[in-house]
Chains A and B, each alone.
Chain A
C-alpha cells in the first residue's frame, strides 16, 4: 500500500525527508505527476506529493526573473508571463497526453527536474539554461540552496545545472527562480514539402547556418505530417520540413521572405502564420503524434544534427519505428515496438554518433529490463553515482529512477 505525504511548506519537506532517512523509507517525489512514467519503475511505499507548494512568489518582468514555489502549475506561470508578453524561452513540452494523462497539469519544478526543452532549444537553450536558483532539501535531510535571483552569477558551483535533469534523485526543491524572456511579437513558419530525410537535413542546416535566427527546425515524414491538425501540413500528403522565425514584425517578415528564397532551392515553399504556426510547433513540442498509440515505446535520441541522416535509414529499417526530427535533426523522436531488440538497436545508433537515447515512455516491463537513460562510460557512470551518494547517501529520493 502506498501512502502519500503532502507537505505544505519547506519545513514540512525537511521533516518528511528526515523521517524517510531515519526510517529508511524511500520516497517517490511527485508534483503534477505527469512524468511518473519516465524513468525506472520505482518501488517505494511512500509518495512525497509537493502539489501544495504552489504559487508565484515574485515576478519582475523588467528584471526578466520569476520566482515560484516548485510545484506551481506551469499553466499558471505561463499565464502570468503572457500578461507581460513574456515566456519561458525553453518552450517546455507538455507530455501529459503522451503519458495518457490530461494536458495542463505539469509544474514548473517538474519541467526543470526533467530538463525539458521544446523546439526553441536550438536558439534559446533548455530548462538548464534558464534555471537561476533554488532552495531545496537534500537526501541528507538538510536545507541547501544554490544560485540566486539574478541572471549573471558565478558564485560557487552551478548546482542548478546538476538539478536540471536529475529527476528528483538529488534533492527536493521547494522554491525555484527562472529567467524569463520576451515572447516574439510575431511568428512565421516556412514549409517545404516532399523532402526525404537527407535533403531535409541539408535544408534545415542551410536555414540554421544563415543569419536569420531560426527558432525551430523540424522534419515530419509523410506518415507523421498526415496526423497534423494543421491543414497546410496534413493535406499535401507528403513529408513536411518546417523552419520557424520569431521576433519583431518587420524583422520576421524580412527573415521569412529570405528563408523562402533560401529554401526554394529544395522545393516549393509555403508559410504558416499565427495560429497555424503555433499549432504545428506545439504538436512537435509535445510529441503529439505518438500520443495515440500508448503501447508503443517512445524514444528521444539526441545526436549531432548532421549525423542523424546517416544512421536514420538503417535504424528505421531495422526497427520499423516511426520517427520525426526536431532541433534541425539533432533530436529524433522514435515510436518503436516495446521490445529489447529495438531498444538495443536504438542505443547502438546513439552510440555510433556520440549522442544518447532515452526511453521516455514504455511499459513497466521494458523500463525494468533496459536502461531508461543511455548507459555512460564506466568512469562517468562511477562519477555520477558518487555525486548521487553525496546528495542522497541513504537512497531515499526516487531511488533507482535514473539507474
Chain B
C-alpha cells in the first residue's frame, strides 16, 4: 500500500486564500480550482494511482513560475511539477495539499543554432517536435522514448529518458547541454549552456534524472545531430531467447555498436503480429531487430557481419530490410508492442528493470516461474543492447485482487533484476512506483546521502515530496555529523 506524506491540514484549510494568491500571480484561466478542471491532472501514465491536486497552476512565463515557487516556499505549500503527464512511475502524481505546476504552456522552440549544433527549447515542447523542427535541414534530436509524440523535453530531463537508440547515442543526460531552472525558493539559475562540461560541480548532470525533486526546468538546450545517411535493419528469429541473447553479446563483442537492438519474446511477438500484421515469424521463441546506421558502405558491411554472427548462433530466420518501408515494417510490431498487449488483456503493467545482459535466459526462466505462481501472463520486450527489460504483466483490474497480484509480481521481477546485478529502473524512473523498493538496491546511508543532495536544493522538502525516497528525513537530522567513537586514535595504516 502506497502512503504519501500526510496532507497539511493547515494548508488545506487555507485553500481559498492560496487560490487567490496564485491568481494574483497567474491571471485568468491559469489557475484551476474547480473539480472538473482538476480531474485531468489526477494521475499520469501510472494510472493505478490517482489523487486530485489541491489546485492546478499553468503559468505562461518564467517569472510566473518563479513567483509561484517563491510564494509556495514562503507559505509552506508543496509543489508537484508536471510536463505532459506520461510518466510510467508516478513522477507527476499530485498531492492532496499540493499545487500541481503544469509546464504545458511553455511550448516554444526558442533558438535553432546549427553553428553550435544545438537548440534552445521551452520545457513543454514535445520530444518529437524538436526533431520535426530541424529534420528538413537533416538534423535530429537523438533520444527517442516510445512516448516521444506526447512526452515533453522537460519531463525527459526530469526522468533522464532513454529510447531504442540510446545504446549508440546515449540517454537524455548525454544529449542535454544546459538548462535554466527555477529553484523552490524562486531563484532562477542556469546550468551549462552551449558549451561542453561544467565550470565547477556538474549540477546539470545531477539535475537530469532528478525526477522533479531539485528544481523546475524552464528552458533546455539540447544537442542536435546530423541524421545518418542510411538506416537498415535485420529481423532475426531464434529457437531460444538464450540464442538471441548470445547473438547480442557476439555482435557487441565483435566491436559493432548498432543504432538499436531490440528483443521480443514469444508472447510479445504473437501479440504484436496479431495487432499490426508486421509479418513476424510465429514459430520462433525470440525475435531480434538490429538496426544499423551510417554511410551505406558501413551499413552494408555491418549487415553482412551481423548476418554471419546470427547464423553462427543458430538463427532460424533472417530478413534484411531493402527499402525504408521494409525497415519501418520491421519496427512496426515492436513500436506497437504495448498497445498490442493492451489488446489481448484488459490491463497490463509495464515494468522497467535493467540486468547484465548475460543473465537474460536465467531471468526469463525465473520470470516464467513467477508467472505460474501469480497466475498472470507476462510478455517481454527488451532493449537488448543495454540490458533494459520491459516485462508487461497482463491482468484485469476488474477481477478482485489481480492488480495487487500484478504489483507483487512486478516487485518480484525488480528484486530479481537487483539480485542478478542489475537495477530497479532503466529509464522510467523511481517515482512512487519503485520508491518502496529502493532499499533493495541502496543502504540507509546511501539513501541518506542522496537525500542530503535534496536538502542542498530544497531544504524544506516542498518540491515533489513522497517520490523516490521511501522514508523522508528532515534536513536538520540529515545534516548532523556523527563522530564515530573510538576513531580518535591514528588509523592503523602504513605511513610514510
Contact = CB atoms under 8 A, between A and B. Distances in A.
Interface stretch (A150-158, A262-270, A281-289): A150-158
Contacts of A62: 249-250, 252-253, 357-358
Contacts of B426: 150, 152-154
B449 A144 contact: yes
Interface stretch (A101-109, A230-238, A390-398): A390-398
Contact of A161 (B205, B229, B255): B205
B219 interface: no
Contacts of B162: 152
A149 interface: yes
B455 A390 contact: yes
A352 interface: no
Contacts of A159: 206, 449-450, 453
A150 B423 contact: yes
Contacts, number: 320
B492 A15 contact: yes
B227 interface: yes
A33 interface: no
B94 to A, nearest CB: 22
Interface residues of A, number: 112
B383 A19 contact: no
A330 B427 contact: no
Contacts of A117: 196-197
B264 to A, nearest CB: 18
B276 interface: no
Contacts of B424: 155
Contacts of B195: 302-304, 330, 353-356
B438 A161 contact: no
B344 interface: no
B15 to A, nearest CB: 31
Contacts of B202: 115, 128, 161-162, 164-166
A65 B300 CA distance: 28
A60 B356 contact: yes
Interface stretch (B37-45, B373-381, B439-447): B439-447
A342 interface: no
B456 A154 contact: no
Nearest to A2: B496
Contact of A377 (B189, B252, B449, B482): B189
Contacts of A45: none
A324 B160 CA distance: 34
B427 A5 contact: no
Nearest to B437: A155
Contact of B493 (A6, A148, A150): A6
Given A49-B496, A213-B294, A254-B297, 10 more contacts: A19-B487, A19-B491, A61-B252, A145-B446, A150-B421, A159-B206, A208-B117, A248-B301, A258-B295, A353-B195
27 contacts: A5-B491, A12-B491, A16-B491, A21-B481, A115-B198, A125-B174, A148-B422, A152-B387, A152-B427, A155-B424, A156-B442, A159-B450, A162-B205, A205-B115, A211-B295, A212-B295, A250-B301, A253-B297, A254-B295, A254-B297, A255-B295, A302-B199, A373-B199, A373-B200, A374-B200, A379-B187, A388-B201
